[in-house]
Amino acid sequence: MNESWNPEIPLDLQQNFKKEKEQAFTLYLDFVVDATASMYTVFPAVYYAAAHFLECLSKYEVYPQIGLTLIRNEENGEETETVLFEGRDSFTSDISLFLKKLKGTKLYGGGDDGKESVHKAIGTSLRKFPVSGRNKAIMVFTDAYGSNDYEEYTQYPVGQVIFFSTDEMSEEDFHFCFVKPDGELDEEASPMFIKIDKLLKPMSTEFLDNIVKPLKDLMKGVSIGA
């Protein structure tokens, strides 16, 4: 179909609106992955889980923009990393490229007490999203026993947060700003916590659906403009 332009509206405004509309109907999904040395054993399972989740989303005809943020230990001078893709973009729609970047992640460092800079990585992830609606989600993968820092994220709306982590991580004090389909704040929503060792076992269709469907449902009721 040919693009049609309204001559009464400046071309640059029409182009901006088109871009905003495309963003509004796109799921933005950031993988926040612990890249410290202790993840050596479980990291292959994280890679295959990411591949399975993205494959399942495609079966629902959801093709997200995907990002990757690496958890480090900032107390040891190991800085949180935002992985960049082609054009130095923080997100890509190319699943193969994303998986290649994930597979090439260097694992090193980490805290002697089993705690990493998880809050800093989550904050970094939320700040890099180019959209402000609920069509955003983060998936956190970490074997840390807690976070050695603290941050609140109430100024960064998000649709869904899923942790694959330890029991200790589920006891951390996380303050997210969840959004309903109508744009109102969802004060009853909370992150989903799943034990990271579940990734080491075969994934059933039911397990995959329980992860993927909440992400797919973020696109329900999404709209922009009149």
Which pLDDT does position 6 carry in this prediction? Answer: 53
Q: What is the CATH number of the domain that holds 50?
A: 3.40.50.410
Confidence of residue 182 (pLDDT cuts 50, 70, 90): confident
Rounded Cα gap, residues 222 and 26, in angstroms: 9
**Residue-range definition of the domain harbouring residue 94:** 27-219
Structural domain includes residue 147: yes
Per-residue pLDDT for 113 more than 70?
Answer: yes
Q: How many domains does the chain have?
A: 1
Per-residue pLDDT for 62 more than 80?
Answer: yes
Which pLDDT does position 177 carry in this prediction? Answer: 94
Strands 81-82 and 160-165: unpaired
Structural domain includes residue 77: yes
Confidence of residue 140 (pLDDT cuts 50, 70, 90): very high
